[in-house]
């Protein structure tokens, strides 16, 4: 077990060893148990986390803020539009200065081709750890919470099948950070990972290659499919959510034209019945109800979405307690 993670940034789980990820899971389970029992766990007393948001959030903000308070510290909510970033604060200045005020810097910035570079720029200049609260490529804390949920619901993930599928949504063009992070993390834990999407919704080749290599090293499998129903058949985990056709187009009108061709890609009761009898349905939320997934599925007996959302709290507390 590799336990010394002090000072490490969490930008993608791919930068952590399997031993280190096992430690994070172990601590997340322990912190969940401690909270259930009402046991104090103020491991970050007097420490302060900056939470810098360039994009809206419900769960990420709530769980990081609550998590810091439960660990005995404090989290400062900062919206980019109320800072001087638009008037010239650079990533180096943000890293240098916030790294001196705060004990950790968490950032959400999902703009295509901008967000990840911004987070990396701040991390390069910060003396304190930087946490990716979602960029255009990765949502590592979501994937860690999802892994915790799969372990709780399914036991040892080795040999279990997860279907990471695209689904239709009309509300907005969602980042591809969740499917990227899922295929990278679940292949590290020996799962059979099926990535399912219409052809225009492909993910970056470098992440597909990394997922393939992870699967090879950890005795899992990684397969890309384009048939929604074949992808769900006999699976253990249905993780069906929308993302934008970002490698095909970044033009909003073209995005909508492409996306609207696949409005029948909804996770509904008929499709859930194709999965194993005890399969779970997962979604990071927010979901487009009755567009992306039916009420019957997301509120139904297979749904794990509330436990999944809860585990954001425990997984993030584990990362912060180990690194800050």
Which residues of the chain form contacts with ligand CP (CB under 6 A)?
57-60, 134, 142, 284-285
Closest CB 141 distance from ligand CP, rounded Å: 8
Q: Which is nearer to ligand CP, 60 or 311 (CB)?
A: 60
- Per-residue DSSP letter, 292: T
Q: Which is nearer to ligand CP, 5 or 145 (CB)?
A: 145
Closest CB 261 distance from ligand CP, rounded Å: 26
Residue whose tokens read 């990081």:
64
Which is it for the CA torsion 284, 62, 105, 20, positive or negative?
negative
End-to-end CA distance of the chain: 19
Closest CB 60 distance from ligand CP, rounded Å: 3
Closest CB 62 distance from ligand CP, rounded Å: 8
Report how far residue 43's alpha carbon sits from residue 317's, in angstroms, rounded to the nearest whole number: 10
Closest CB 302 distance from ligand CP, rounded Å: 19
Closest CB 3 distance from ligand CP, rounded Å: 27
The phi, psi pair for 225, rounded to 5°, reads -130, 160
Minimal CA–CA distance to 298: which of 289, 308, 311? 289
* DSSP track, 14-79: GGS-HHHHHHHHHHHHHHHHHHHHT----TTTT-EEEEEESS--SHHHHHHHHHHHHTT-EEEEEE
Strand-pair partners of 23: none
3-state secondary structure of 258: helix
Minimal CA–CA distance to 211: which of 191, 195, 187? 187
Q: Which is nearer to ligand CP, 231 or 284 (CB)?
A: 284
Q: Which is nearer to ligand CP, 153 or 190 (CB)?
A: 153
Q: Which is nearer to ligand CP, 23 or 108 (CB)?
A: 108
Q: Which is nearer to ligand CP, 23 or 60 (CB)?
A: 60
Q: Which is nearer to ligand CP, 54 or 222 (CB)?
A: 54
Residue whose tokens read 């992306």:
292
Token output for 57:
């959030």
Closest CB 167 distance from ligand CP, rounded Å: 15
């Amino acid at each position: 077990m590799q336990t010394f993670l002090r000072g490490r940034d969490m930008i993608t789980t791919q930068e952590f060893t399997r031993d280190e990820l096992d430690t994070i899971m172990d601590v997340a389970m322990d912190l969940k148990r401690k909270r259930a029992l009402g046991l104090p766990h103020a491991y970050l007393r007097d420490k302060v986390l900056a939470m810098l948001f360039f994009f809206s959030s419900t769960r990420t903000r709530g769980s990081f803020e609550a998590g810091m308070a439960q660990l005995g510290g404090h989290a400062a909510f900062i919206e980019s539009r109320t800072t001087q970033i638009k008037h010239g604060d650079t990533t180096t200045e943000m890293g240098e200065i916030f790294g001196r005020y705060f004990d950790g810097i968490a950032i959400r910035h999902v703009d295509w081709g901008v967000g990840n570079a911004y987070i990396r720029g701040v991390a390069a200049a910060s003396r304190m750890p930087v946490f990716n609260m979602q960029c255009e490529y990765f949502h590592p804390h979501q994937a860690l919470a999802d892994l915790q949920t799969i372990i709780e619901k399914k036991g040892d993930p080795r040999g279990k099948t997860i279907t990471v599928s695209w689904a239709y949504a009309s509300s907005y063009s969602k980042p591809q950070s969740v499917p990227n992070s899922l295929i990278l993390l679940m292949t590290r834990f020996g799962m059979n990972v099926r990535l399912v999407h219409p052809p225009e919704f492909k993910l970056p080749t470098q992440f597909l290659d990394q997922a393939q290599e992870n699967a090879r090293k950890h005795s899992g499998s990684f397969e890309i499919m384009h048939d929604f129903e074949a992808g769900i058949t006999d699976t253990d985990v249905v993780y069906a959510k929308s993302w934008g056709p970002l490698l095909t187009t970044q033009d909003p009108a073209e995005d909508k034209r492409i996306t609207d061709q696949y409005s029948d890609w909804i996770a509904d009761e008929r499709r859930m019945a194709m999965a194993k009898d005890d399969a779970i349905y997962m979604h990071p939320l927010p979901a487009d109800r009755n567009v992306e997934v039916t009420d019957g599925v997301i509120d139904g007996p297979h749904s794990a979405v509330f436990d999944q959302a809860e585990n954001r709290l425990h997984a993030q507390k584990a990362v912060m307690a180990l690194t800050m």
